[in-house]
Amino acid sequence: MALAGNNKDLVSRFWSEVYENRDYDRVGKFFAEDGVYEDVAIPDSAAHGPAAVAKRLRIGHEPVERFTHAIHRMVAEGNTVMTEHTETWHFHSGEIVALPFVSVMEIRDGMIALWRDYSDMNTLLSKAPQWWLEHIMKFSVADFNTDQGA
């Protein structure tokens, strides 16, 4: 029980860094050196390593004016933590997009070893402003999944 509770605390702190503090370098420090972030709805490779995870989040999140984040449920068993949550993206141009997610994380030695996000990407793509979509399209698959240049 203590292990699952500690892992839930770690994941709760992680969500605070991502959505309240938006400090992506600190977010990367939650990950094991071989940690992986995979956004299952996006047809590309995963981000491998802390710097690549931070870079991937920075590319998509930095242009967003602010976020609100609501955790609906968080369940932990052993080293696995599952979070049902909604990210609400507020763009400076007035668009607001609520994105429901289920995130699955595997924790190893107090670090995130695996983070998989499950969502409907069409929810974001159909409601995000054109300028943000153009921003995202400037990047190649390599920008999203390698540790180089992060």
Question: In residues, how long is the chain?
Answer: 150
pLDDT of residue 145: 62
pLDDT of residue 146: 55
DSSP string, 100-139: EEEEEEEEETTEEEEEEEE--HHHHHHHS-HHHHHHHHTS
149 or 59: which carries more pLDDT confidence? 59
78 lies in some domain: yes
What is the β-pairing status of strands 111-118 and 31-39? parallel
Give the pLDDT mean for 87-110.
Answer: 97
The parent domain of residue 92 ranges over 2-145
Tell me the C-alpha distance between 146 and 54, whole Å. Answer: 11
Counting beta carbons within 10 angstroms of the beta carbon of residue 52, is it exposed (0 to 12), middle (13 to 18) or buried (19 or more)? buried
150 lies in some domain: no
User: At 70, which CATH number?
Assistant: 3.10.450.50
Residue 80 binned pLDDT confidence (cut-offs 50, 70, 90): very high
131 lies in some domain: yes
Q: Into how many domains does the chain fold?
A: 1
